[in-house]
Every structure is written in C-alpha cells, then in structure tokens.
Structure 1
Amino acid sequence: MPALPFFHRLDRYVLGQLVLALALVTTGLVALIWLTQSLRFIQIIVSHGLSPFVFVKLTALLVPSFLATILPITCFIVILFIYVRLAGDRELTIMRGLGLSDIKLARPALALAVAVTLLGYALSLGVVPWTLSVFRSYQYEIRNQIAAFLLEPGVFTPVSSNIMVYVQSRGTNGSLKGIIIEDNRDPNDPATILARTGELMTTPRGPVVVLENGSRQQIDPKTGQLDLLTFERNTLSLAQAARSGMPDDTDAAEIPLHDLFHPPATLPSGDSAKWLVEAQRRLTAPLSTLGYALIALVAALGGGFKRHGGLARIIGAVVIVTALVALGLGVNNLAARNTALLPLIWVWTLLPPCITGYLLLRQGAPRA
C-alpha cells in the first residue's frame, strides 16, 4: 500500500494540467465569442452616446450563455490534447508500467468531466436564464428608456429603427419645442407629426412624448392625397414593441425550468413545443460533457502510441464529436416540430457515454 500516495500524486499531476488547459482554452474561446457577438451592440452604444460601462455590462450578461455552450467542447479538446501529449512524451507508458490501467489513467479526466457537468447544470438551470432575462430588460431599457432621453436639439435622433425625432430646443425639465417625428412603425401607413411644444415623460411601457398644438400628416394609400389632422394635445409612444411580459414576448431561454414544463394555455402550440424542448435541452446538454470526455479518452488511451502517431484516432474523435453536435441540433429541431420525438434528445445524450464507457472498460486492464 505504500505506493498508493504516489498514484494519488499522478492523479493530481494530470488533473492540474487538465484544469490549467481548460481554464486557458475556455477563457480564450469565451473572449473570442464575446468579441464577435459584442460587435452588434457597438452601434447601439455609439449611436446613443452611452458610456463604455453600459457596453461592458450589456455584453457581460451574455458570457454565462457562451460558457454553458462551449464548456462540453473545450473539455473534450483539453482531455484529448493533454492525454495525447502525455502519450507522445511516453508518460502514459511509464504510468502503465507502474501498473495503472486505463480506468485509473482516466480518473483525472473523468473527475474534470464530472465537475464541468455540475458547473454546466448550475449555469443552464440557474445562471443563464437569469442573466438572459436581465440582458433583455437592460437592452430594452437602453433602446427605449435611455435612448429617448438623449434627444439632442437640432439633430435628427433615431430613437428606434422606425422612429426619428427632431427637436428645435429642449428644456431641463423635459419640455420640448419645435418637434418633428417620423413614425414608420406601420410601413403601410407612415406619418409625419409636427408640434409646437411637448414634454418627454417615462412610463412603465416606455417613453412617451405629450405633444401640444400640432398636426399629423399622412398620405392616403387609396387616393394618394395628403390627410392632415390637427390636434391641441396628443400622446405618442416612442418605445419599440413593449416588453409586456406576455408569452409571445418572452424567450424560452429566459424561463425557469419548472415553468417550461407548464407552458401557459394561451401560448401557441409551436411555442409550447419550443418550451418543452428547451426544458429537455437544459437537462441533457450538461451531460454531453461526459460523452465527449469519454470519446476523447477512448481515442487517446486506446491502442499503442507513437510520438507522432495516433492521428487517425484523433481525427476520428473530432469527427464523431462534430457529428454529435450537429445531430443534437437536428434532434432538437425535430422534437420542436413533433413533441413525440422528445425522448430522442435523451437517447442522443445518453447513448454516446454508454458506448464509450463500455469501450473504455474493455480496454481497462493494465498494459505494459
């Protein structure tokens, strides 16, 4: 039994390399995805003159969803790379010479995979839905609440994608003078609104402007003539589609797991299926980490190794994992169209680790 602590040190040695590599690879990929995805928010920030802090907060809320998505893949990459490198450096040969079977050699990788799986559940079941909900609310606030209050005198300001506002002057209390509004929210019935004075106000459903002594001008689509409607007082919403909390305004990714299994009766059948698929995806996606990790272990530990050999097994493992990722997307789409196929999501998740676990056990006897 005196050799037991030495084996424990070997586990810690391999696990340390795996954890370090996983941290570096995951951080790099998250940073890359964050950079590419954040580009679409730069226009919102720049066009409305918001601070860099707003940009950082907005994009940081997306990081947990990126992390939950890539963790199974990065875990597979790291395990495959580290074990192939250990084999190429003859370290695995030495460990086998000490009597370690493939099962014992795989212990550090399996420990890492279990930890990543638990982290994936924490992200998918709790952190990601919450951050996506906060992200959507914050994005709505920027596009509707904040943007409307950044109206600059003498400048045509795009409050949203289909509302353009011009004010001649603006008071510190929200009063406006010389107002022109181009309202294209209805593409078949655009309108130009003029008003002498007005006041900008905030409401729970977004910013509104109270117009006084103005007119609304529209072209009649049937006659082609200009229709002019004058008013003494009129209230116009400057918000985009309001986040009212109705089911069709809510993304399934933001819904708590319990609610996903009990969609509202008012929800369209197609959206109800998406909610059920999202629930199954959250329960199964973290488990894919175990399957991918076992595929990497079977490829890296199976057969004899040469310093520059084993390329076919490496390519084969990459191809299998790529096919499983694509198959998972296809299964989710099929289940969304026909909920009777929901069990396929579990089959896709559990079958690979069962097969690869069996293969690893078959080759698990100590080898010189």
Structure 2
Amino acid sequence: MGSIDRYIFRTTLASFALILVSLTGVIWITQALRGIDLMTSQGQTILTFLGITSLVVPALVLIISPIALMIAISHTLNKLATDSEIIVMNAAGLSPIRLFLPFFYATCVVALLVAFIAAYLAPDGMRRIKQWDAEITADVLTNILQPGRFAQLDQNLTIRIRERQPGGILAGIFIDDRRDPNERVSIVAEHGEVVKNETGSFLVLETGNLQRFEAGKRDPALVAFGRYGFDMSKFSNQGRDVTLGIRERYLWELLSPADNDPVYKQIPGQFRSALHDSLLAPIYPFAFAVLTFAFLGAPRTTRQSRNFSIGGSVVAVFGLRMAGFACSVMAVKSPSPVLVQYAMVFGAIGVGLWMIIGGVVVEPPPGLMEAINRSNARIARLFGRPATA
C-alpha cells in the first residue's frame, strides 16, 4: 500500500469511526430513554440501567455501519475533489479502479466488523437483554411491589411498601403472613432490601418488630429486631427458562436450528429471513462503497455536477437498502424474495464496478444544468452577486 493509499485509507476509516460513534450515540440515547423506568418504577440502579441499555449498541452498529461507511467515502471523495487531488491523480495516470483500492481495503475492515457483529455480538447482546429483563420483570420484589399498594403475593400473604429509595432500598415495609394455619405473623420494618444468593431471594428487613399470633394463645409474641431475613424464594422466578426469539439467535443457530425448537416450528419463515439478513450484512458495505465511488469517484469540473452525483449516490444506496428491507419482510412468507435480494445486492456491485472500470461519469442532464444555471443567474441578479458555475 503506497502513501496515497495509506492517506485515503486512514482518512476514510477515521471519518467512518467518527460518524459511526456520533450516529450510534444519538440513537442509543433515544433508545436508552425508553428504559428509564428501570430506575424509577422498578428501583434498579444506574449501573443496571446503563448495562441493559448498552447491550443494544451492537445491534445499532450493525445497521448504522454501512451508512456510516457511505458517508465516510462521500466525505473523503468530496475532500479530494475540493482540493483537486482527484484531478491531479487522474492526470498522473491513476485509473479509477486503482483509486478505488484504498476504499476497498477500508470496506474490508468494515465488512469484517459487521460480519462479527451480525454472527455473534448483536445476538449475544439481545440475548443478554432478554435474560436480564426476564430476571427483573419476573421478580415480584421489583415488579409487583409498588409503593403505596397492598400486594397479594399469595392467598394468605400481603406485603406493602411506602416508597422506593435510591439503591434499591425499600422504606416503610409491612408484611401480613397467614400461610401457616397455626399462627399469623405481622412484621413492620423501617427499611429493607432485596438480597439474592445461591440459596434464594430474601427480603432483609432492618429496624422493626414482629408480632406472632399463635393459635390457642391469648397474647401475641412481640419481638423487636435490628435485622431480619424474610424468605421470598418462592416468589422469585429468576431461574426460569427464557425462550429466545429470532434476534437472539447466533448465525450457526439460524443455519441449523434444532428439529424440536418450538420457535422454529412456529415461524420457520422468520428464521430464513434472519439467516439471509445475517449473511448479507457484510456484503452491503461493499455494495454501498462501490455505488458511492461509482457516482463520486470520477473527476468533476463543476459544483452542480458533484452535487448531482452526491444526490444520485444517496438515492441509489438508500433505494438498495429499502428494497433489501422489503425483501426481508416478504422472505418470511416465501423464499423467492431472498433470491431477489441477493440479485439486487450483487447486481449493484456488478453495475458499480462496471461504471468504475469503464470510467463512466454520472452527469446531470443538460436540461437540468440549464435550469440550474438560469436559476443561479436570477438569484445572482436578485442579490447583486455574480453567478458561479
């Protein structure tokens, strides 16, 4: 790789990284705000909130990476054109396909990243989200117990809490336990917290008193305690099995699902659609890169021509991606859209390479150029400035 190649390669990847981080950060914030109830209504800590919401980042990167690559290549080519570097390289005998090589190397890096995310990282993150969410929502201590309400956990067990405090602390706890027919236990505590270990789940109460009314006795037994553990393992379902959906399956699980998989038996079409989406994920960056370079890689002499090419590349890339999404949806019911999707992606790569090798220059129609020039002239006369081409 020569000095020019290294310069273009570094510029493209640096722009790609900046754009990817920026877009992912913005979209992640909008997604994270939806899970803010983890801290407010369910009493989870900020670390739990950040941990769960950050697991969706690989799935976001999977979608954003090809678009970020397209923007990075457009930026790099526009920078080279603005500085007249493309014209100089073309005059020095550098062919378009030779100029495309450093962009191809950068695309290979992005494709490897996307392949790893699609095959393992994104499904693993979604799987962890589902398992983590199941542990939170299945536990009555964080889901059913709401401040100010009497929660009937069992036919003869009632619990009420006054409020939830930061760090998962429960304040103003009342427990009425009548599960044992021979006695009734009433507990009042100032504070408490949930403790989970290998033996089960416990509501550890602090600074309170316990009243035990035994059958056949007139007076209750009253005990004041500083710390008391109330067993809640029966009502905690953190060990239950979690049924994995399509998005939580690794690539190899989509390739060969188990014959007795209930999800596969119910929706085999979604397995097919998800499998081919994962296989095509690292191919889309190549299609986007080829199309973008085919529109913008040729030397330009006018600003209108460059702007038209930028618009054309955006339409081509987003049209290809939207058509791919449509094929993915239709592939759930029929396998034929999958073939159409492969044909579109590889056809776009083939057409783009033909344009690059053949030196095809995408120019706006003459009529459009005349209309733009007339419009620029009218604007220039209106504001008293000379029109520019």
TM bin, normalised by shorter chain, reads 0.7 to 0.9
Shift of 1:315: 0.6
Alpha-carbon displacement from aligned partner over 1:32-90 (angstroms, at most 9, x marks no partner): 11001111100122212222111111111111111111101110111012102211221
Alignment CA distance shift 1:113-1:203 (3 Å): same
- Quote how far apart the aligned CAs of 1:325 are: 1.4
Letter in 1 for 2:8: V
Q: Partner amino acid for 1:330? A: A
Aligned pairs for 1:215-254 (under 5 A) are 237=235, 244-245=241-242, 249-254=243-248
For 1:329, the equivalent position in structure 2 comes to 325
**Separation in 2, partners of 1:72, 1:44:** 32
SS of corresponding position for 1:252: coil
Contact 1:45 1:51 in 2 (8 A): yes
| 3-state secondary structure, aligned to 1:251 | coil
Q: Counterparts of 1:115 and 1:203 in 2: how far apart (Å)? A: 44
> Residue 220 of structure 2 aligns with which residue?
none
Which of residues 67, 72, 78 is equivalent to 2:66? 72
C-alpha separation between the residues in 2 aligned to 1:208 and 1:120? 43
Matched residue of 1:342: which SS? helix
Distance of aligned partners of 1:323 and 1:201 in 2 relative to their CA distance in 1, 3 Å threshold: same
- The counterpart of 1:22, out of the listed 5, 16, 24, is 16
Aligned residue type for 2:49:
F
Partner of 1:85: 79
Query: CA separation of 1:131/1:340 partners in 2, compared to 1, >3 Å: closer, same or farther?
Result: same
User: CA–CA distance in 1 between the matches of 2:150 and 2:47?
Assistant: 22
Counterparts of 2:351 and 2:151, CA distance in 1: 57
**What is aligned with 2:122?**
128
For 2:175, what is the secondary structure of its paired residue? strand
Which shows bigger deviation, 123-132 or 21-30? 123-132
Structure 1 equivalent of residue 224 of structure 2: none
Q: TM-score, normalised by structure 1?
A: 0.73
C-alpha contact (below 8 Å) 1:270/1:336 kept by paired residues = no
Structure 2 stretches lacking a partner, 5+ long: 153-157, 163-169, 178-183, 188-193, 204-212, 214-232, 362-389
Q: Which moved more, 1:38-47 or 1:264-273?
A: 264-273
Aligned to 2:112: 118
- Please name the residue that 1:177 is paired with: 175
Structure 2 counterpart of 1:271, from 256, 267, 274:
267
User: What is the match of residue 3 of structure 1?
Assistant: none
Structure whose CA Rg is larger: 2
Q: Which residue of 2 aligns with 1:357?
A: 353
Query: Is the CA contact 1:124–1:282 (under 8 Å) kept in the aligned structure 2?
Result: yes
1:109 Cα deviation after fit:
1.0
Q: Is the 8 A contact 1:103 1:364 kept in 2?
A: no
Q: Structure 2 length normalisation: TM-score?
A: 0.69
Q: 2:160 aligns with which of 160, 164, 167?
A: 167
Residue 132 and residue 251 in structure 1: after superposition, are their counterparts in 2 closer, same or farther (change >3 A)?
same
Residue 285 of structure 1 contacts residue 349 of structure 1 at CA under 8 Å; is this kept in 2?
no
Match among 144, 148, 152 for residue 155 of structure 1: 148
Equivalent AA in structure 2 for residue 346 of structure 1 = Y
Secondary structure in 2 matching 1:304 = coil
Q: Which residue does 2:344 correspond to in 1?
A: 348
Amino acid aligned to 2:74: L
Question: 1:339 matched to which residue of 2?
Answer: 335
Q: SS at 1:99's partner residue?
A: coil
Rounded Cα–Cα distance in structure 2 between residues aligned with 1:306 and 1:314 = 13
CA shift digits 1:275-329 (9 cap, x unpaired) = 1211111011110000000111011123533356411111111011111111011
Q: Pairwise CA RMSD of aligned residues?
A: 3.8
Indicate whether 1:97 and 2:91 are aligned.
yes
Percent identity, please.
Answer: 21
What is the alpha-carbon distance in structure 2 between the residues aligned to residue 258 and residue 208 of structure 1? 39
SS of corresponding position for 1:286:
coil
User: Larger relative contact order (C-alpha < 8 A, sep ≥ 6)?
Assistant: 1
Is the Cα–Cα contact under 8 Å of residues 148 and 238 in structure 1 kept in the other structure? no
Count of paired positions:
308
Unaligned runs of at least 5 residues, structure 1:
1-6, 160-164, 180-194, 214-234
Corresponding residue for 2:372?
A: none
Range with greater deviation from structure 2 (16-25 or 355-364): 355-364
Shift of 1:364: 8.4
CA pair 243-358 structure 1, distance change in 2 beyond 3 A: farther
Cα contact 1:299–1:313 (8 A) shared by 2 = yes
Contact 1:292–1:321 (8 Å) recurs in 2: yes
User: Deviation at 1:331?
Assistant: 0.3
